[in-house]
Amino acid sequence: MFFKTDNDGTVLHGRMAGCGSDLVIYAPGARGNTVDAEKYCEPLEDKYGFSTFTYDLRGIGKSKGSQFDLENQLHDIQYAIDAGIRKMKEEAKVPIV
């Protein structure tokens, strides 16, 4: 899935998986992406029943933008959390508040 940041409109790529009603947001490390995150997220989904959401950092994987834009990358964590919660609500895994 793709989501757009509110501050500058950069399009980031995210990965939602699992079928649980509890959501874990995985924020990738330096040069991290959704492919790398799968090795950490899949056990949370399969063994513990969580839903997980992770994303490609700016300029990494399928995300747009400059990977050297640290100020915006800090804001991207909040946009990723919002995108994960929005997706959970769309799939009715959490009550819509």
What domains appear along the chain, each with residue ranges and CATH number? 2-90 (3.40.50.1820)
Q: Write phi, then psi, for 44 (nearest 5 degrees).
A: -65, -35
Helix or strand or coil: residue 71? helix
Output DSSP code: residue 11. E
The token pair at 24 is 């874990």
- What is the pLDDT averaged over residues 9-32? 89
* Cα dist from 16 to 8, 19, 33, 55, whole Å: 23, 9, 13, 9
The chain-wide mean pLDDT, for the chain, equals 87
* Residue 42: pLDDT over 60: yes
- What percentage of the chain carries pLDDT values higher than 70? 95
3-state helix, strand, coil in the chain (%, to 5): 35, 20, 45
Output DSSP code: residue 13. E
- What is the pLDDT averaged over residues 39-66? 92
Say what the pTM is.
0.81
